[in-house]
């Protein structure tokens, strides 16, 4: 299932500003800008950027793309050449919808069930599309998805399924859903905004943390600073390590990839398990009414590990669970 679909059309780039596009180099730079926007979404498998089928033909402010190109170049051959460059850039990323159909689809999407649908913009909003349904970059998309994540969530299963798709740059432990039951003060429903902010922080921090297996402590500072960025619209989260009784969880060992055949003869990737110390944690001590949990025995935490993979040259964030403070409370006794 896709987590979201963002659409680009002539409204997104307003075609080309004739007054500020003075030469062929400027046109080439405009094509390059579109290619860079497309490339910025290539980090995601769950969230796509798609162009309208009528990107070149749809008129904005009275002119379609070819007319704008002819106005700039004054040469029909050059206009056709650059039109081809634009089409080549977006060709593999076209949707099956034209601009009018895209506008209708975005208007009808309640931003509740996946996939969410948005309009991609550079500077100016699309006409007839609400501001909250616009995104301007891949990371803006990550934020908008996170703001809308809690909409319609009512069960632990829904929370988990939606989280795995929405926050795809986090590796979730298989017991994540079950561990949501360990929350002591209320239920996960009382912390949807706080928890989604924590998940959004970890999801985006994946791109900021180091590749050095010996710099995890510094990476914790990076994660905490990420949570405080104004675009994430949440409180700064303390990110630290466990003092004692470290929590260990089994995750896929990405350094030991195996190719096996399933019962139908299809080749699939399989990984042996690696027992990892997931002692790092975000402190999630406020409910969605901004009331702080006043009893340390009831604190909520997001416990995770950071593990470098030689095969991909990336450090991964492996989320064990969101729930009670480790170690688990036993037999009603206060945690020590």
Domain boundaries, the chain: 4-144, 155-324
pLDDT at 243: 84
Could you give the CA distance from residue 205 to residue 212 in angstroms, rounded to a whole number? 15
What is the average per-residue pLDDT within 300-317? 95
Mean pLDDT of 328-333: 63
State the Cα–Cα distance between residues 192 and 172, nearest whole angstrom: 17
Please name the residues in contact with 189: beta carbons below 8 A apart, sequence gap of 6 or more: 153, 154
Residue that has been written with the tokens 């980090």 in this structure: 43
**What own/partner pairs with CB < 8 Å and gap ≥ 24 does 117-120 have?**
117/4, 117/5, 117/6, 117/7, 118/4, 118/5, 118/6, 118/7, 118/144, 119/6, 119/7, 119/9, 119/11, 119/12, 120/6, 120/7, 120/8, 120/12, 120/37, 120/49
Q: Are 139 and 204 in contact (CB under 8 A)?
A: yes
pLDDT reported for residue 38: 97
| Average pLDDT over every residue of 203-221 | 96
Say whether pLDDT at 20 is over 80: no
**Eight-state DSSP code of residue 16:** -
What is the pTM (predicted TM-score) of this model?
Answer: 0.93
Mean pLDDT of 200-215: 96
Check whether 47 has a pLDDT greater than 90.
Answer: yes
Which residue spans within the chain are E strands per DSSP?
A: 4-8, 47-51, 116-120, 134-135, 170-172, 239-240, 248-252, 258-261, 267-270, 273-277, 280-283, 300-309, 314-324
Q: Alpha carbon of 62 to those of 8, 55, 80, 127, 221: distances in Å?
A: 19, 14, 19, 15, 51
Q: What's residue 336's pLDDT?
A: 41
Helix, strand or coil, per DSSP, at residue 22: coil
The stretch 206-223 carries a mean pLDDT of 96
pLDDT tens track for 154-193: 999 999 999 999 999 999 999 999 999 999 899 999 999 9
pLDDT at 21 over 70: no
C-beta separation of 203 from 167 below 8 A:
yes
A 10 A CB-CB count for 195 gives: 25
C-alpha to C-alpha distances, 210 to 107, 134, 176, nearest whole angstrom: 40, 31, 25
- Write the DSSP symbol of residue 113: S
CB 173 within 8 A of CB 321: yes
Average pLDDT score over residue span 263-292:
92
Would you list the DSSP string of 273-294? EEEEE--EEEE--B-TTSPBP-
Mean pLDDT of the chain: 93
Position 50 scores a pLDDT of 98
Spell out where 125-177 has E strands. Answer: 134-135, 170-172
Q: Which residue has the higher pLDDT, 190 or 269?
A: 190
pLDDT band at 334 (very low <50, low <70, confident <90, very high): very low
Residue 164's pLDDT is what? Answer: 98
Which band of pLDDT confidence, cut at 50, 70 and 90, is reported for residue 258? confident
| Average of per-residue pLDDT across 6-26 | 82
Q: How confident is the model at residue 335 (pLDDT cuts 50, 70, 90)?
A: very low
Mean pLDDT along residues 136-150: 98
SS3 316: strand
On the question of pLDDT at 88 being above 90, the answer is yes
List C-alpha distances in Å: 104 to 54, 77, 318, 320. 15, 36, 38, 40
CA dist., res. 323 & res. 333, Å (int): 17
Q: In whole angstroms, what is the distance from residue 29 CA to residue 35 CA?
A: 10
């Amino acid at each position: 299932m896709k987590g979201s679909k963002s659409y680009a059309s002539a409204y997104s780039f307003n075609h080309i500003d004739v007054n500020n596009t003075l030469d062929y180099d400027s046109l080439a730079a405009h094509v390059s800008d579109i290619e860079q926007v497309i490339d910025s979404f290539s980090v995601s498998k769950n969230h796509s950027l798609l162009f309208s089928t009528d990107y070149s033909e749809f008129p904005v402010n009275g002119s379609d793309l070819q007319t704008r190109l002819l106005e700039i170049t004054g040469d029909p051959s050059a206009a056709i050449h650059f039109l081809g460059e634009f089409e080549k850039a977006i060709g593999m990323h076209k949707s099956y919808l034209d601009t009018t159909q895209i506008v209708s689809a975005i208007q009808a999407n309640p931003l509740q069930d996946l996939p969410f649908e948005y309009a991609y913009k550079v500077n100016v909003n699309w006409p007839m599309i609400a501001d909250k349904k616009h995104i301007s970059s891949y990371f803006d998309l990550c934020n908008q998805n996170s703001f809308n994540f809690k909409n319609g969530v009512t069960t632990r299963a829904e929370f988990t399924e939606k989280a795995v798709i929405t926050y795809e740059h986090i590796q979730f432990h298989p017991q994540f859903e079950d561990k949501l039951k360990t929350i002591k003060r209320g239920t996960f429903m009382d912390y949807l905004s706080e928890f989604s902010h924590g998940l959004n922080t970890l999801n985006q921090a994946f791109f900021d943390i180091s590749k050095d297996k010996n710099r995890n402590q510094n990476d914790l500072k990076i994660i905490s600073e990420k949570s405080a960025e104004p675009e994430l619209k949440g409180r700064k989260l303390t990110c630290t390590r466990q003092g004692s009784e470290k929590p260990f969880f089994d995750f896929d060992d990405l350094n030991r990839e195996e190719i096996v055949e399933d019962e139908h003869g299809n080749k699939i990737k399989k990984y042996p398990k690696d027992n990892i110390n997931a002692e790092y944690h975000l402190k999630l001590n406020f409910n969605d009414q901004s009331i702080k949990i006043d009893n340390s025995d009831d604190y909520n935490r997001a416990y995770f590990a950071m593990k470098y993979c030689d095969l991909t040259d990336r450090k991964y964030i492996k989320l064990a669970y969101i729930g009670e403070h480790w170690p688990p409370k036993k037999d009603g006794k206060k945690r020590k």
